[in-house]
A = this chain, B = another copy of it.
Amino acid sequence: MRRLVVFNNITLDGFFTDANGQIAWAHKGNDKEYNDFVAENAKGGDTLILGRKTYQELASFWPTEQAKKTMPEAAEGMNRMRKLVFSKSLNDATWSNTTLLKGDIAEEVRRVKQEAGGDIAILGSGSIVSALAQQGLIDEYQVVVNPVVIGKGRTMFDRIRSNMDLQLTKSRVFGNGKVYLCYEPTKGA
């Protein structure tokens, strides 16, 4: 079965977006070592699952000439990958290789995990992470702790209703102060 992996930058106070849905803090202090890691790390995946807000954010950047010029490899990958977007309110999704899904999130994800293919990644999309985490459908949480505190924002887990124990499986510290932490749900939890 395909693995479902969350990849998100968070602040030291636990937020993946600030109170206005912005993540400018995650783009500070990027360096080659970190960028190479992210590019390599993304290679196993061929499908993205996105909520509406994250979809709109990404779709407004990656197809642009600016993205293709400044980050050609990443833009090629983002535009080529299959995108599954969960939204009740969107009527169409025009970004290349994007499918709009209206059904039950957990059911759709169970179906996609049974299909042939590589890893499925969730970027941003806190409401989707919360929904799928509680259902035990997420196989791995990859979190990059950024050296910044922002005071207010949204966590990926704000709809979790009971404590969720995790197992740390990998970690890596970068020269720019970012810390990559990789967790799996604790077996039997």
B177 near A179 with CB under 8 A, answer no
Complex: A4 Cα to B97 Cα, angstroms: 53
Known: A11-B14, A14-B14. A164 touches B148 (CB 8 A): yes
Q: Closest B-chain residue to A152, C-beta based? A: B158
Known: A25-B163, A177-B166. A13 touches B149 (CB 8 A): no
Count of A residues near B, CB < 8 Å?
39
Complex: A148 Cα to B168 Cα, angstroms: 10
Tell me the A residues contacting B by CB distance below 8 Å: 10-15, 25, 28, 133, 141, 143, 145, 147-152, 155-168, 171, 173, 177, 179, 181, 183, 186
Q: Please name 17 further chain A to chain B contacts, defined as beta carbons within 8 Å, in addition to the given A14-B15, A148-B163, sorted by A numbering.
A: A11-B14, A12-B14, A12-B143, A13-B156, A13-B157, A14-B155, A25-B163, A28-B165, A147-B168, A147-B186, A149-B157, A150-B163, A151-B157, A151-B162, A151-B163, A168-B173, A171-B173
